[in-house]
């Protein structure tokens, strides 16, 4: 104890020790100043030069490593300053491990940032290799890449600090069965997400309908799929459920159906009815927004209070607002045809017949019986 005390006193009173401290501080301050200049001028100049269409991938890589690089300079300054003190080798191992661990963390940080902007890389590969990249695949693969990067980083850090990773992996293999039973639902959702990615029944931005939810797909992750309903509520559906349910993808309609019955009054003559059917069908055939593949206008049935004309066709557009515009325009044209032909649209009605009884005899008897007798 006394030896350590006297050794400390010798260090504090030694001029060379304070010179070494000053050199270490100068090294750290110099690295900090260089970091500031590098970030403000050199790095910004490089990113501006790479911010072009032909070098977008390099530009994204530089942006992904910008913040990790700033933090790395701080660790580098601390390590070089510590190295300049020329302390005994037994005290160097810990700072060296810390510095190497910081390098691993900074590289992992940059790769995680890069995987977040992986859409740019996917689109570059799509244009160069002519690959079909689905919008739902990009965020899912991005999350997988992040998970893999973090797992590898933890493994490398564990090895750097002397932990036996092989024994840990072997332990996972032994306990894998128990883990599978405990995390059955989580694994079901994971495999459900993989099934959705492989089969691609929908993509992000698609309008889908299942027995449990209807709306626009916003996101898919390892556990669930997020759907924005038309009431603007966000519904989170487990992947296992949505993968096993029947899915209707309305966005992938090639055309959109319009089907309704038009009821006219029973007083409509046969000739007028035939004329209306023909003119409505001709109008639909000539309409620019009606798909010509299938157009049906028929006198369909005798309803309770109307003669029903079945109108069945498809619009070329599948967008909801444009679809409503086309329907409105066609309804107005049908009204014009009915007005020109003098045909009225029927509405639900019911006729009531009241039976009229003969009360004349009874009334006469009542009048006689109720009349007072005349007095002389």
The CATH number linked to 229 is 2.30.30.60
pLDDT at 276 (0 to 100): 95
Least confident of 138-142, 202-206, 238-242, 372-376: 372-376
Cα distance between residue 117 and residue 145, in whole Å: 11
Q: How far apart are the first and last CA of the chain?
A: 157
The first and second tokens of residue 199, run together, are: 């089969």
Q: What is the dihedral of CA 23, 26, 32, 33, to 10 degrees?
A: -140
Higher pLDDT, 222 or 200: 200
* pLDDT confidence tier of residue 229, bands split at 50, 70 and 90: very high
Q: Does 8 have pLDDT greater than 50? A: yes
Q: Please tell me whether residues 48 and 92 are part of one structural domain.
A: yes
Q: Please tell me whether residues 27 and 121 are part of one structural domain.
A: yes
Q: How many separate domains does the chain show?
A: 3
Q: Does 165 have pLDDT greater than 70? A: no
- Identify which of 29-33, 189-193, 216-220 has the greatest average pLDDT: 216-220
Q: Please tell me whether residues 60 and 80 are part of one structural domain.
A: yes
Nearest to 306 by CA among 337, 339, 347: 347
* pLDDT confidence tier of residue 131, bands split at 50, 70 and 90: very low
Q: Please tell me whether residues 193 and 292 are part of one structural domain.
A: no
Picking from 205, 221, 251, the residue at the C-terminal end of a domain is 251
Q: Please tell me whether residues 203 and 258 are part of one structural domain.
A: no
pLDDT at 375 (0 to 100): 45
Query: Mind spelling out the 3-state secondary structure of 156-213?
Result: HHHHHCCCCHHHHHHHHHHCHHHHHHHCHHHHHHHHHHHHHHHHCCCCCCCEEECCCC
Picking from 130, 145, 170, the residue at the C-terminal end of a domain is 130
* pLDDT confidence tier of residue 273, bands split at 50, 70 and 90: very high
The first and second tokens of residue 376, run together, are: 């002389």
Q: The domain that contains 320 carries what CATH number?
A: 3.30.70.100
pLDDT at 63 (0 to 100): 75
Least confident of 39-48, 231-240, 277-286, 326-335: 39-48
Identify whether 135 is part of a domain: no
pLDDT at 4 (0 to 100): 52
Give the range of the structural domain holding residue 260, as residue numbers without chain letter. Answer: 253-341
Identify whether 116 is part of a domain: yes
Report the mean per-residue pLDDT for the chain.
77
Q: Please tell me whether residues 308 and 287 are part of one structural domain.
A: yes
Q: Does 173 have pLDDT greater than 50? A: yes
* pLDDT confidence tier of residue 162, bands split at 50, 70 and 90: confident
pLDDT at 270 (0 to 100): 94
CA 147 to chain centre: 20
pLDDT at 374 (0 to 100): 45
pTM exceeds 0.85 for this model = no
Picking from 218, 251, 284, the residue at the C-terminal end of a domain is 251
* CB neighbour burial string for 293-316, b if at least 16 within 10 angstroms, e if fewer: eebebeebeeeeebbbbebbbbbb
Average pLDDT over residues 33-56: 70
What's the DSSP call for residue 90? Answer: G
CA 327 to chain centre: 30
Q: Please tell me whether residues 123 and 198 are part of one structural domain.
A: no
pLDDT at 210 (0 to 100): 92
pLDDT at 287 (0 to 100): 94
Report pLDDT digits (tens) over 73-107.
888 877 777 777 765 555 556 677 777 888 888 88
* Tokens 């006729």 -> residue: 351
């Amino acid at each position: 104890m006394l030896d350590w005390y006297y050794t400390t006193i010798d260090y504090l009173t030694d001029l060379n020790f304070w010179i070494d401290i000053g050199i270490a501080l100068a090294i750290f301050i110099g690295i900090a100043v260089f970091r500031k200049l590098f970030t403000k001028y050199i790095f910004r100049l490089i990113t501006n030069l790479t911010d072009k269409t032909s070098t977008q991938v390099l530009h994204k890589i530089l942006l992904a490593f910008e913040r990790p690089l700033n933090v790395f300079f701080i660790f580098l300054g601390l390590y070089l300053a510590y190295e300049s003190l020329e302390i005994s080798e037994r005290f160097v191992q810990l700072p060296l491990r810390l510095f190497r661990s910081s390098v691993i963390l900074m590289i992992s940080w940059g790769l995680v940032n890069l995987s977040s902007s992986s859409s740019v890389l996917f689109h570059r590969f799509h244009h160069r290799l002519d690959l079909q990249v689905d919008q739902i695949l990009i965020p899912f693969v991005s999350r997988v890449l992040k998970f893999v990067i973090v797992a590898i980083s933890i493994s490398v850090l564990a090895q750097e600090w002397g932990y036996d990773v092989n024994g840990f992996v072997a332990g996972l293999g032994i306990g894998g069965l128990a883990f599978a039973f405990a995390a059955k639902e989580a694994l079901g959702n994971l495999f459900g997400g993989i099934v959705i990615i492989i089969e691609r029944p929908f993509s992000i931005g698609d309008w889908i309908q299942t027995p449990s939810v209807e709306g626009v797909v916003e996101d898919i992750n390892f556990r669930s799929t997020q759907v924005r309903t038309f009431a603007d509520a966000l519904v989170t559906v487990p992947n296992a459920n949505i993968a096993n349910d029947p899915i209707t993808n309305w966005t992938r309609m090639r055309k959109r159906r319009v089907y309704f019955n038009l009821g006219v009054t029973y007083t409509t003559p046969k000739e007028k009815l035939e004329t209306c059917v023909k003119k409505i069908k001709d109008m639909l055939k000539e309409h620019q927004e009606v798909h010509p593949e299938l157009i049906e206008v028929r006198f369909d049935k005798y309803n309770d209070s109307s003669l029903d004309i079945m109108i069945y066709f498809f619009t070329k557009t599948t967008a909801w607002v444009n679809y409503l515009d086309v329907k409105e325009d066609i309804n107005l044209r049908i009204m014009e045809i009915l007005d020109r032909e003098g045909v009225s649209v029927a509405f639900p009605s019911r006729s009531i017949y009241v039976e009229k009884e003969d009360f004349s005899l009874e009334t006469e008897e009542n009048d006689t019986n109720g009349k007072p007798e005349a007095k002389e």
